[in-house]
């Protein structure tokens, strides 16, 4: 292992234990922060020059050196040494090797504590933009599919039992609405994290006249943080970010679970293109929804990251502690998994068709129009609780007489149950008709679906 010069060599004696070097390093995963580390360092150097703490020429050398290092890393031509611990030290020592004494002045008034806190915020800002776009793409895919199924009815389930009829469009749009909450939650997270800790130093700030507003502004932050002790160890935004990813994952896992069921022979509601299915190594007939199962399964890793992050934060003494280095492992894992799942979900949604005929053929199953019949009785002046009982009795009668649907009962049987029932009752008794007569805003009928589609098309264009 190449021996690297470290700034604390004068303080600590001897070379670090091999095991300790491996154990303490974060370079293997935090190198993905390199662009942000360089941007933060350039802003810091320019501010130091503005405040005459270093000269303009020194700042220019630093900038030039850092940009070259950035290009080298991007091109895969930079040699990382684990002994440098992290991306901050790796870049700084390469800078010193490149530009000499000017490079040694870069860390003036700065600590890796405020540096890393700045880097993660910068990285996360970009990452959130990517995730927001991915979510919008998934929403667009869902709306496009919804447009195809405005008049097609499917059973809506509660407790996984057939409940009421709903248009397929409304079902698809339910996920668009879920994702809209995820979208704005992540946007809020971005707005809250967009404050700059740079200049907080190790913990208490600096005796040098640093211009914190200047670096914050140059890095595109909306404000600076106002307490250096908090700023160096605040990772609330990391927990919040992973929580946002967790809810996205929860929602994707619900879609995945539905669709895994829907692809089964028992449901046969949907068919996804072969490109998104796998087969079995043994059973030649199999067509498995592995992508959906993986979306569902990967939720575990994202939740795991959230629990890990929250646990890292628990009872940590003020202020920066090395425990915090672990934040990146979980933040990156949550981001990467969520990103991959959002992309796969959008692809699957775009390449899936609903078996509308098969779904329609099965609509007589499960008394989907029972609630609408109870509401028919309400319109005839019967109190709802009583209407509920009457219809419950009629469903039991159907089951007893082996009648598949309420519409198979005779008008005499209806009248025997309640004399307010007229021949017009049969108009109420079919799932498609029920769907069309939903009156409430946001209901699962075609009119509401159409209105939602118009709304989302406008909204998603702005996003
Ligand atoms: N690699 C460290 C991290 O990610 C950087 C900060 C280390 N600071 C220190 N004083 N040891 O948290």
**Sequence spans of domains, the chain:** 17-108, 113-208+219-361, 370-429
Ligand 1 mutation pick, 11, 21, 24, 86, max ligand atoms within 8 A of CB: 86
For the stretch 143-183, pLDDT in tens is: 999 999 999 999 999 999 999 999 999 999 999 999 999 99
List strand residue ranges (DSSP E) for 210-369, in order.
Answer: 223-224, 270-272, 352-354
Ligand 1 mutation pick, 37, 116, 197, max ligand atoms within 8 A of CB: 116
For the stretch 69-122, pLDDT in tens is: 999 999 999 999 989 999 999 999 999 999 999 999 999 999 999 999 999 999
pLDDT band (50, 70, 90) for residue 2? very low
Asked whether the predicted pLDDT for residue 5 surpasses 60, the reply is no
Other Cβ atoms closer than 10 A to 207: 8
Of 189, 172, 171, 286, the residue nearest 235 (C-alpha): 189
For the stretch 337-369, pLDDT in tens is: 999 999 999 999 999 999 999 999 999 999 999
For the stretch 414-430, pLDDT in tens is: 999 999 999 999 998 99
* Fold match, 113-208+219-361 / 370-429: no
- In angstroms, the CA 77 to CA 430 distance is 69
Residue 405 is classified by DSSP as S
pLDDT band (50, 70, 90) for residue 279? confident
Residue 260 tokens read as 């895994």
CB 124 within 8 A of CB 221: no
Supply angle C-alpha 232, 45, 115, rounded to 5.
Answer: 20
The pLDDT value given to residue 8: 66
112 C-beta closer than 6 A to ligand 1: yes
pLDDT band (50, 70, 90) for residue 10? confident
From residue 123, alpha-carbon distances to 24, 128, 189, 223, 425 in Å are 22, 9, 13, 17, 62
CATH topology of domain 113-208+219-361: Fumarase C; Chain A, domain 2 (1.20.200)
Active site residue 228: no
CATH class of the domain at 370-429: mainly alpha
Q: Is the pTM of this model over 0.85?
A: yes
Burial class (CB in 10 A: 0-12, 13-18, 19+), 239: buried
The alpha carbon of 422 and the centre of ligand 1 are apart by a number of angstroms equal to 78
Percent of the chain with pLDDT over 70: 98
CATH topology of domain 17-108: Fumarase C; Chain B, domain 1 (1.10.275)
């Amino acid at each position: 292992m190449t021996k690297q010069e470290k700034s604390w060599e004068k303080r600590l004696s001897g070379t670090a234990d091999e095991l300790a070097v491996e154990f303490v390093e974060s370079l293997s995963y935090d190198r993905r922060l390199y662009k942000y580390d360089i941007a933060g360092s350039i802003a810091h150097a320019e501010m130091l020059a503005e405040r005459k703490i270093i000269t303009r020429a020194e700042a220019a050398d630093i900038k030039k050196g850092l940009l070259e290092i950035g290009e080298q890393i991007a091109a895969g031509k930079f040699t990382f040494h684990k002994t440098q611990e992290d991306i901050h030290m790796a870049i700084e020592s390469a800078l010193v090797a490149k530009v000499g004494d000017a490079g040694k002045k870069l860390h003036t008034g700065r600590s890796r504590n405020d540096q890393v806190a700045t880097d993660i915020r910068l990285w996360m800002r970009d990452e959130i933009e990517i995730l927001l776009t991915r979510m919008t793409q998934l929403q667009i895919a869902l709306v496009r599919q919804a447009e195809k199924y405005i008049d097609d009815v499917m059973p809506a389930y509660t407790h996984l039992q057939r409940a009421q009829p709903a248009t397929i469009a409304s079902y698809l749009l339910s996920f668009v609405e879920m994702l809209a909450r995820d979208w704005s939650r992540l946007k809020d997270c971005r707005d809250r994290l967009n404050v700059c800790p740079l200049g907080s130093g190790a913990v208490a700030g600096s005796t040098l006249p640093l211009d914190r507003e200047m670096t914050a502004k140059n890095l595109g932050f909306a404000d600076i943080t106002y307490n250096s002790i908090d700023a160096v160890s605040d990772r609330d935004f990391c927990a919040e970010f992973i929580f946002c990813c967790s809810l996205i994952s929860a929602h994707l896992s619900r879609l995945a679970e539905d669709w895994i069921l829907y692809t089964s022979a028992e449901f046969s509601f949907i068919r996804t293109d072969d490109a998104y299915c796998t087969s079995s190594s043994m059973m030649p007939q199999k067509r498995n929804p592995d992508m959906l199962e993986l979306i569902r399964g990967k939720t575990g890793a994202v939740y795991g990251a959230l629990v890990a992050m929250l646990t890292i934060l628990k009872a940590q003494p003020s202020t920066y502690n090395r425990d915090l280095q672990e934040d990146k492992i979980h933040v990156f894992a949550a981001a990467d998994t969520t990103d991959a799942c959002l992309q796969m979900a959008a692809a699957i949604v775009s390449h899936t068709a609903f078996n509308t005929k098969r779904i329609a053929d099965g609509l007589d199953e499960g008394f989907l129009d029972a609630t609408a019949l109870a509401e028919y009785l309400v319109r005839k002046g019967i109190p709802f609780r009583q209407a509920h009982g009457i219809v419950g009795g009629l469903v039991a009668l159907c089951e007893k007489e082996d009648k598949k649907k309420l519409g198979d009962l005779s008008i005499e049987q209806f009248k025997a149950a309640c004399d307010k029932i007229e021949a017009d009752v049969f108009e109420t008794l079919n799932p498609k008709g029920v769907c069309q007569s939903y009156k409430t805003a946001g209901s699962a009928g075609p009119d509401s679906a159409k209105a939602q589609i118009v709304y989302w098309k406008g909204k998603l264009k702005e996003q």
